Every structure is written in structure tokens, then in C-alpha cells.
Chain A
Amino acid sequence: MTQPTPAPTQASTSPAQFPVAERLAEIVGERHVLSRPSELLVYNSDGLPGYRRQPRLAVFPGTREETVAVVRLLAAEGLSFVPRGAGTGLSGGALADDIVVIGLHRLKKIISLDVANRRATVEPGVVNLRLNKHVAPHGLLYAPDPSSEAACTIGGNVAENAGGPHCLKYGVTLNHVLAITVLLPSGEVVELGSKVGERDGYDLRGAFIGSEGCFGLALDITVKLTPKPQTVRTLLADFTSIDQAAHVTSAIIASGIVPAALEFMDGPTIRVVEDSIYAASYPRDAEAILLIELDGLEAGVSADLEAVRRICLDGGARNVKVARDDAERMKLWQGRKKAFGAMGRLAPHLIVQDAVIPRTRLPEILATIRAISEKYGVVVCNVFHAGDGNLHPNIAYSADDPAESERVHKAMTEIMQACIDAGGSITGEHGVGLDKMGYMEAIFSESSLNAMCELRAVFDPERRSNPGKVVPVHACKEWHAVPGGRLRTGTSSLTDAPEPRPVEAEPSHPSAR
């Protein structure tokens, strides 16, 4: 085990205050343990800075062995912890309320790349885009591409079952992970899935993906790589009505053509982006644009491109522009991927939802969202993965204005309810975390939530890994059987995270991603 020389600028922790800090420092080196409140400020939120929780301390193991040692020490002490990647999540999922953060960003080795078998094994801290740059020279790509790809880690992607614009055609993280070496909260290491073939038995790899850090953490992840498509073509169709764009989206999906991506931006979003440094030459006077990408074999793409152009024009598009080259393509994408960042121009805080609706309900739900926004006098911007029906209605506002905050939250709650009533889901890719936990009972029955609690209890019987997230504690029957309804926390004063109220937080503006 390596013991890096302590950096002189880092103050050592006070053993009397928290003895485990010293022992963690023995494992990872003093400079990789933070315990001063001022140092921990960076870790008190994720991409939804409206939720803030102060960790007790943060530890950053540099190797697999150190990570195992850290988790075993916490297990021996009965201490709870939250695994954390790059902190770009949008659900408040990586927050640690007076417990230990285990930051995994130092575990960033690409362990192996097998070009012939199109797979790679990476440590959890490897950044999504870095993996893609690493495999690109071999004509391969790693398909899931969350908008935060330049910062987010594969470990975090596994925890959240991350998606991205191109998951319309290529599928989400779940569809691209072959095997995970998991470090259970007990400190035991298990191999889920298979690096080499297809195992039989229960799909515990599938169960682990999207478990939001509640089942333990990944020590390494073996992913499937996809051959780069021969041709990629990107279209921009602009509309003078939202309704037309929504109907065209449904028509493209119904035509059977599976675009690589099909993204929707409404007028207010277009104008904010065009005013920002991410300006992508979108038509400012449009009420909606669709960004449509087709990929595959040249001949097939050309045929589909013509069909999609025809559907757009027949559906009332004013213009359909096809990007001439990669530079123009990247510019069109830049505006879309940085749209949330651009929202910072409107107001200091931003609330973003992630509901998914059946795709045929899109025109109706967008009309409902508009009616709700008018009712509450708020401006809802819509920029989302239309092809999947994955909405991201967002409202820029000032959390310092209590009256405005109340209107914003009421509007968002009504929008979510409309999506649930349409047969949708509360989250398509951001995860439940703290942010959407209050809605879980609206879509899952008591027995379904209990089954989730039971699954979690198999991986983490003491519920020490990311406690208090995803499933409301009171939904777990077994929980009530634990004496006192609380878990032992060893010798320290660390306690389990309390269950939050769903609307207690004021999510503010996420940084540009």
C-alpha cells in the first residue's frame, strides 16, 4: 500500500474529534483525507446545487487496494459512506449528510482494451470522454454519452444507468456493461456479469447498474465498445409551432427509422442559447427546433435522411438544414449539450426535471406544460431527448424570492403529475437520488418498493452505502423491524441520513455541462 508524503499545506485531522480520519489517512495518505468543513464545501452538492449536505469527511483512495482497505475499515467501524465520481449528477444522489464521502476520481486507469472483442475494462474514475478518445483510434466508441461526458465518470454512469442523446439508438449504460467488479459495503469483492461471455444465474450485474451507490461501489467495469458508424449526418429542422415539432417527432418514431439522436429545443431555450457563448446559429425566431442525427452505412443513411427531411417538411418545418461537415455538426451539438449552462443567463437558480412519457403523448404533454406555466406565471424551457420521450422541463428562477420559488415548485409538481398520469416515469436518466424520492410512491406500490428494499438489503444489509436515497425509508417493511428504526453506527456519532422531504430543497442553476 502506498503512503504518499503528506502535503505540508494540509492540516491533519483531529483524532479526538474523529478517530477514523487518522486511520483512513494511514491507508490513503494524509493529503487524501479531508475533514475541515471549509475543505469539504466542494463536496456538499452535486450538479443540483439546491440540495446541500455537509459530509463529515472525504477520503480519496488512489488504488484498488486502498479502496478495499477504506471500505473494510468503515465496515469494521459500522460507518456509512457515499461513493462519488465527478459529482455531475442531477438528483442529489452523491450527497453525504454528516457521513463519509469516498471519492473515486483517482481510480482512473484504463486497465485493458481488447479491440478484437470490442471491450474495455476501466476503473470507476475514468472520465466518459477520455474512454471515448482512447478507443477512437481503433474505430470504436463507447455509446452512452451523457451531456456531462467531458467530466462524468464511468463509475458514476454505472451508478445512475446514465443515458444521453444517442441512447435513442444505442441504448443506455445497462446495455453496454458486461461485467463489474463490485466492492460490497461489507468489504467483500464480487464479480458480477462476465468479462468473457454470458453467464447464467441471476442478473446481478443488471441489478447493480442504476443502484445509485446503494449496493456498494465498482472497482472496475468491463464495457462493450461499438464500431464507429461509417457515416453520420445531422439535420436541423425549425418550426413556428411547438405542436408541429412534437407531431413530427412522433411521426419520425412511427416511421420506423431509428435516428441516432432526436433532440427538441423550444423557442425560449433557442434564444437563451443564441444569446450565450454556446450560440449555434439556431434560428432565433423559431418556436421549436429538432436536432436529428442519423448514422450507419452511407447508402442507408442517405435514404433515411431524405425520408426524415420529407416528414419534417410535410409536418410544417420552415427549413431543414443538413450540417455540411463535422465542424458544423459539432456546433449544432454544442448548443444542445450546453443548453442548461446557458440557462444561467436567465436567473441564478434552475430546476430541471427528467420525466419520461410515451412518445405519442408528446404534443399533448407539451401543451399541458405550457398551460401550467401560464397558470403559475413561470417560464418553462424545454430542451430534451424527444425521440425517447424523455423530457427536461426546466425553470430558471431566483430561489431568494420565496413567492417565486413557491410558484415554481407548484408548477413543477403539476408537470410531474401530468407525466405520471400519462403513464410515464419520474426519471429517465438522472436518477432518483434525493430529488425524486418523494415521487416514488406515486409510481410504485408499497410491495414494489419493499421488493427494492429487500434487494438493497442483500447487497448492503446494514444500509451503510448511500443511505437515505432512492427508496423512501418508510417504504421498507423490514426497516421497521430494526430496533429503534436506526442502524448501528459504531463508535462514532455518525448517523444515517434522515429522510428528506421532496420539496425542501431549492435546486439552483447547475454549472455548464
Chain B
Amino acid sequence: MSTEAVVSAIKESGSTRSSLRIAGRSTWLDAGRPVRADKTLSLRHDSGVVSYVPGDLTLTVRAGTPLSEIERVTREHDQWLPLDPYGSPDGTIGATIATASAGPLASSFGLPRDLLLGLEFVNGRGDVVRGGGKVVKNVAGFDLSRLLTGSWGTLGVITEVTLRLYALPKADRTFAVALKGSKKEVASLVRAIVMSPLTPFALQLLNPPVVRALDIGEHPVCLIRLGGNEAAVDVQLRALSSLADSKEVDTAVWDGLRNLENGAECVIRISGLPASFREVSAAMLSDEYPWISEYIDPVRGVLRLVLRAPDDAAASEDSVLGIDPAGRPDEHVVFEKLPGESWDGIPSAVSDSLSQGVKKAYDPHNILNPGILGD
């Protein structure tokens, strides 16, 4: 597979008006709305490093490269791509960028849009387009890289990406703080941790089903990842000790958290003002429904709900969680995975005229992932 192969596949589809399901390694195909496609265009075999000069801390790879491969290649040079989307690490970088998938590290290292320097894609007419570049700072031309990030393959098939890397921290340690006490006490502790001088790599509040699945206790937990040079981690650890008792856990716990979503039938992401999540976090971290995993990023202002049992999920979607698909004015509800029939009635995020205009310009025949964004 190469860019040329993607071009000919798209041109062929365009001429026959048949539609394409765009896939990386097909690990996340259960995310997003059902796609009505005649064929699958897989980038699984379009994989590998195009250029990597460790001294530049930039990496250019083909879109089908798995995240785990990027981790392996960069680790050899004591570097990493701090991008840890939920789900399997065998997912591809192309799919990660296309779906703008982020994980716990996003609160300190940014979203995929912040780590992306440039990309190549093939639009719905089969034109090869490049946006951005390969250097760390660049304002040449309109920003097609950001436009494609999170477009779910509907504007073009991403074939290559250039990313910003970081040096692996000298120290990278994770601590669990049990959130015990009244709701008021928990809210006050969470607020104290978030507003303290701590600069954690990641910070997540986990409800008891998640805590049990990760085997790190019984109560709700505040999971804190501290990284940097040894001195910076030590001083933060002392600051944390003055706020609460903590115990160190294996940093691999973060992989466990990412993997919790594998095979889940229902994943809902709610984002809003971070402070509101701190205040209500105690109430949200309930143990009432053991089939609902909840984790909150109180820095970024994101809550994820993962429902294990499909039957319960469908039944509980409105009644138990009380989630209005349209969201409230002060928050955004994004359904990442739902059982097929549950998508009915959930409004599309690309129904506005600007989004429709972009779609029409980049994929005039509507052959790329039709239906995935509900358009």
C-alpha cells in the first residue's frame, strides 16, 4: 500500500460511485456510527517510519503504523510520542489522528491536534494534499492538518503524518490517592490537588468498578502520574504527601486503563468546564452500577463512561445516566461507541453549513466513510 494505491482506490470508487470504509488496523471499527460502504480501504499495510532524526524530536510515519510501533522506535532513542488514546495500542496513528483520540496524557501534552505538525491525505477526488510541514513551527498556508484531525476519514484518507516527540522523562511514577469521606470532603481534596503547584503528566479520578478492574483498591481513586527530572518528581511527591496519603502503583496501570475500553459496547465522553467536574466528581464516582466504569479528567474537564453489558447499556442510556444526547449548554456529549440502533436521534456534529461546505469540497461524491458522522 502506498499513497498511489490509495489514490487509485479512491478514483475507482469515485468513477463507480461506490463508497469506502476507511480503516487502519480495524481495532476501533466499533467506534462511530455505522458506515454504509461497499468496500473497505485498509491502510494496515501502509506502515513504517518515513523519516526520524532524533535530534529534531520529530517523526514522520505512514498512517498505518501502529502506536505500539511508534513507541518501540522512539524508545530506542529515549523519546516518546505522549499520545495514549483509549483502546488497543495496536491501533494506527492514522486512525488516532483521524478520530482525534486522546487519553490521560492529553491534559499535559495536549490533544492530537497539538502534537501534529503536518500530514498527507488523499481527498475524495483522489488528489494528494499536504498540510503543514515537518518542522515544529509553521504557519505557511491554511491549516489543513487541524481540519483533517478528527474528521473521521470523511474529508480524506490520511496517508502520512509528522509528529512532535518528547524526550522520555528521567522519572515517571504513578501514585494512587484513595478518595474516602463525604462527597464534600472528596470534592475539596480533588480541588486542592488540581489547584496545587503539582504539574502531573496525567490525573484521573476513577470510580470503584475501574479501581477493582485495575486491582488498585476498593474506594474511588485519584490516579496521578508525575514525570520529569528526579528533582521535579521528588518535590511534587512531597507536595502531594502534604495533601493526602498516596501509594505508588506500577505505571503500567495506565495501559490497563486504556485497555478497559476494548470490546466495550458503549463509550460516552462528556466534556465541560473543568471546575464543574471537580465539584460533582464525588457524586459521579458512584459504585451504584458495577457495570458502569467512569473516569474523570478534572484538569481537562472530561468524563468517560464505559458500559460493559450491552443490554444494560441500551436500557440505561437515558434512564440511568440521564444523558440528553443534545447535551446541555455547558457541556458536550460525544458518543464514541453505541449499539447500532441507539444512534437514532443523536444529532450530527457536522450538520452546520460550514462543515457541509467543507465535506462537499473535499469529498464531492460522498464516498469516504459515508454516515460515520451522521451527515
A interface, CB within 8 angstroms of B? 114, 116-118, 160-161, 163, 167, 171-172, 174-175, 190, 194, 196-204, 206-207, 209-211, 214, 230, 250, 253-258, 296-300, 302-304, 356-360, 385, 388-390, 423-432, 436, 440, 443-445, 447-452, 454-459, 470-471
CA distance A118 to B357 in the complex (A): 33
B49: Cβ under 8 A from any A Cβ: no
Is A172 within 8 A of B137, CB to CB? yes
Within 8 A of A (CB), among B126-173: 127-131, 133-144, 146-147, 149-151, 155, 166-168
CA distance A127 to B362 in the complex (A): 37
CA distance A388 to B354 in the complex (A): 33
Within 8 A of A (CB), among B348-375: 348-350, 352, 354-355, 357-358, 361-362, 373
Is A430 within 8 A of B166, CB to CB? no
Residues of B in contact (CB 8 Å), total 75
B53's nearest neighbour on chain A, judged by CB, is: A360
List 7 extra interface pairs beyond A197-B332, A207-B143, A358-B53, CB under 8 A.
Answer: A114-B273, A167-B137, A196-B271, A198-B301, A230-B197, A255-B167, A299-B232
Is B139 within 8 A of A299, CB to CB? no
B133's nearest neighbour on chain A, judged by CB, is: A425
CA distance A298 to B134 in the complex (A): 34
CA distance A82 to B48 in the complex (A): 44
A208's nearest neighbour on chain B, judged by CB, is: B143
Q: A160-B139, A210-B142, A359-B56 are in contact. Are A201 and B373 (CB under 8 A)?
A: yes
Is A471 within 8 A of B142, CB to CB? yes
Which residues of chain B have C-beta atoms less than 8 A from A454's C-beta?
361-362
Which residues of chain A have C-beta atoms less than 8 A from B92's C-beta?
none
Is B127 within 8 A of A175, CB to CB? no
**13 A/B residue pairs, CB under 8 Å, sorted by A:** A196-B332, A197-B330, A197-B332, A207-B143, A297-B197, A299-B231, A300-B235, A360-B55, A425-B140, A444-B130, A445-B129, A455-B144, A455-B147
A432's nearest neighbour on chain B, judged by CB, is: B140
Q: A175-B114, A190-B352, A360-B56 are in contact. Are A440 and B141 (CB under 8 A)?
A: yes
CA distance A206 to B144 in the complex (A): 9
Which residues of chain B have C-beta atoms less than 8 A from A359's C-beta?
55-57, 136
Contact of B361 among A117, A389, A457, A471 (CB under 8 A): A457
Which residues of chain B have C-beta atoms less than 8 A from A253's C-beta?
55-57
Which residues of chain A have C-beta atoms less than 8 A from B151's C-beta?
202-203
The listed residue with most A CB atoms (<10 A of its CB), out of B113, B129, B275, is: B129
B327 CB, nearest partner CB in chain A, Å: 9
Which residues of chain B have C-beta atoms less than 8 A from A114's C-beta?
273
Which residues of chain B have C-beta atoms less than 8 A from A203's C-beta?
100, 113, 146-147, 149-151
Is B139 within 8 A of A431, CB to CB? yes
Contact of B273 among A117, A303, A456 (CB under 8 A): A117
B199: Cβ under 8 A from any A Cβ: yes
CA distance A471 to B329 in the complex (A): 38
Is B229 within 8 A of A117, CB to CB? no
Is A300 within 8 A of B136, CB to CB? no
Contact of B135 among A302, A424, A432, A471 (CB under 8 A): A424
Which residues of chain A have C-beta atoms less than 8 A from B136's C-beta?
356, 359, 388-389
Within 8 A of A (CB), among B234-254: 234-236
CA distance A286 to B373 in the complex (A): 59
Q: A297-B197, A389-B137, A455-B361 are in contact. Are A204 and B355 (CB under 8 A)?
A: yes
Is B361 within 8 A of A299, CB to CB? no
Is A190 within 8 A of B135, CB to CB? no
A424's nearest neighbour on chain B, judged by CB, is: B135
Which are the 9 A-B pairs with shortest beta-carbon distances? A256-B167, A206-B146, A300-B232, A201-B349, A197-B271, A458-B357, A299-B235, A360-B55, A447-B127
